């Protein structure tokens, strides 16, 4: 069986075992050939807006694909000026204009935006080029785009399935505030869902449940429920742990809690988490999903969250295709051998400066 709308993708989900699949999400990298069974016939570009360098790269990449793979259809979200041969596209046209591959040009926000375009169903594989500020989710440098595209079109490479979480909103009586999406999984989020006090001067009071069992009553500025991918975003800034994207887990992190003993929790990825605005709360809770305001929950209303059966399939770089930031870091040796391992391990060191020690500037200048 195939993904609805994605003609070249092999559907590997048994509808009767979606819960079991959700528990196994992000546990390993998969061969690209398991997702793509033939040459991609259509590509959707998602790029950083209002950036001349990104616009120039967009033209270069589109021109290369049209010249090298002329049978491939190219799409981009509706704009006034599109390169020749690139057609306009919108998320409402997913069924009429199915997409086989997404190419992002920009920062991490471009992947989050790409995920939001397919927030009610499966998303095609994503090939991401770093042209933004941080680029923690972006394994490919834009200078390597010809080789990276050639590898994808030849079916080489691997996929890292980054977990998404599916969210549904409910009234006090348990009925859904709005219907589920077309896949029946609710709204899907890649980084995190945040309940926060917003403009209110009062703390939120939120009851948290894990698989129906009451966990705690949180009095705080808010709660963050994030994926392992989102562990390096808002959750990290709020004191949460850094979690490898292959770990099947959900993170519950408080924002400025009143209790000093309230610390971030790492929960099983198979859990269903419910966050309910307490009837005793003096303020409603604003809900943000991947940094975008979604809705306001009144006291008694709640959001239910669980792992989505539709992760984001991110294409990883090949071991010999050095695509990241600092060449010295990429060629660092371990016991005499070049490290060709995990992008994530390298990135938390080069981008987040993980456990980097502070050096006395005077001693550094003196060469000590």
Q: How far apart are CA 268 and CA 253, in angstroms?
A: 14
Q: How far apart are CA 330 and CA 157, in angstroms?
A: 18
Q: How far is CA 321 from CA 26, 28, 247, 330, in A?
A: 23, 20, 25, 10
Contact 130, 103 (CB under 8 A): no
Specify burial of residue 92 (Cβ count, 10 A radius: 0-12, 13-18, 19+): exposed
Q: How far apart are CA 340 and CA 329, in angstroms?
A: 11
Which residues are within 8 A (CB) of 149 and not within 5 positions of it... i.e. 6 or more apart?
61, 64, 65, 68, 127
Active-site residue 51, yes or no? no
Q: How far apart are CA 5 and CA 346, in angstroms?
A: 36
Read off the tokens for 309: 């059966």
Read off the tokens for 103: 């190419």
Read off the tokens for 284: 């409603």
Q: Helix 52-68 vs helix 145-153: angle between axes, to the nearest 10 degrees? A: 40
C-alpha count within 13 angstroms, C-beta hemisphere, residue 52: 0
User: CA nearest 10: which of 153, 149, 127, 125?
Assistant: 125
Quickly count: other Cβ atoms within 10 Å of residue 364's Cβ.
9
User: CA nearest 66: which of 48, 83, 52?
Assistant: 83
Active-site entry in 100, 108, 290, 343: 108
The residues annotated with a catalytic role in the active site are 108
């Amino acid at each position: 069986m195939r993904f609805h709308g994605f003609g070249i993708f092999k559907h590997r989900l048994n509808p009767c075992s979606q819960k079991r699949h959700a528990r196994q999400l992000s546990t390993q990298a998969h061969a690209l050939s398991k997702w793509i069974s033939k040459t991609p016939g259509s590509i959707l570009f998602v790029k950083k807006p209002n950036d001349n360098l990104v616009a120039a790269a967009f033209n270069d990449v589109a021109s290369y694909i049209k010249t090298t793979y002329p049978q491939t259809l190219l799409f981009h979200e509706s704009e006034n000026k599109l390169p020749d041969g690139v057609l306009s596209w919108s998320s409402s046209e997913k069924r009429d204009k199915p997409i086989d591959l997404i190419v992002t040009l920009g920062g991490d926000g471009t992947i989050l935006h790409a995920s939001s375009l397919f927030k009610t169903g499966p998303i095609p594989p994503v090939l991401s080029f770093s042209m933004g500020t941080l680029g923690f989710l972006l394994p490919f440098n834009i200078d390597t785009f010809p080789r990276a595209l050639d590898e994808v079109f030849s079916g080489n490479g691997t996929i890292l399935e980054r977990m998404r979480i599916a969210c549904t909103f409910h009234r006090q009586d348990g009925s859904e505030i709005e219907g589920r999406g077309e896949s029946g999984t609710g709204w899907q989020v890649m980084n995190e869902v945040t309940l926060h006090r917003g403009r209110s001067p009062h703390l939120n009071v939120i009851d948290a449940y894990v698989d129906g069992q009451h966990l705690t009553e949180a009095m705080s500025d808010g709660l963050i429920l994030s994926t392992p991918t989102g562990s390096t975003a808002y959750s990290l800034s709020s004191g949460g742990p850094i979690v490898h994207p292959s770990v099947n887990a959900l993170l519950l992190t408080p924002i400025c809690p009143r209790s000093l003993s309230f610390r971030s929790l790492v929960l099983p990825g198979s859990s269903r988490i419910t966050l309910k605005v307490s009837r005793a709360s003096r303020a409603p809770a604003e809900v943000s999903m991947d940094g975008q305001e979604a809705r306001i929950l009144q006291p008694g209303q709640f959001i239910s969250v669980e792992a989505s059966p539709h992760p984001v399939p991110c294409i990883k770089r090949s071991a010999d295709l050095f695509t990241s930031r600092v060449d010295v870091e990429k060629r660092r040796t371990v016991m005499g051998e070049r490290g060709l391992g995990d992008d994530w391990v390298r990135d938390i060191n080069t981008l987040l400066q993980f456990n980097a020690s502070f050096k006395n500037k005077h001693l550094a200048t003196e060469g000590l």
